[in-house]
Amino acid sequence: MAKPMSKAKIADHLAGKLGVTKKTANQFLEELASLAYKEARNSFTLPGIGKLVLVNRKARMGRNPQTGEAIKIPARRVVRFRVAKAAKDAILGKR
């Protein structure tokens, strides 16, 4: 299986495609990440890729796998990434 692209490789690819320096491409990636973190509470969308959404999980009963004892897992808020239909179709192919 191929290795995933690193941040440096992504910045290098963007720099080559857009005709900017690697430093500028790296700054763009950092600013995009920073903006996503700040706006995730309201849902942050990357068109054609997906969106970050904040989801409330309910409290539930779980089980300690080592002892088998039932435990209560508290409710909490989590961040989820929902992949866009366009991205699914491009990666998996249309069915």
pLDDT in tens, 41-65: 889 999 999 999 999 999 999 999 9
Same domain, 22 and 53: no
Number of domains the chain is built from: 2
Same domain, 53 and 90: yes
Residue 94: which pLDDT band, with cuts at 50, 70 and 90?
confident
| Residue 70 confidence (pLDDT) | 96
On the question of pLDDT at 95 being above 80, the answer is: no
Same domain, 82 and 62: yes
Average of per-residue pLDDT across 19-30: 95
Mean pLDDT, the chain, integer:
93
- Tell me the C-alpha distance between 89 and 95, whole Å: 8
Same domain, 48 and 32: no
Domain residues for 35? 1-39
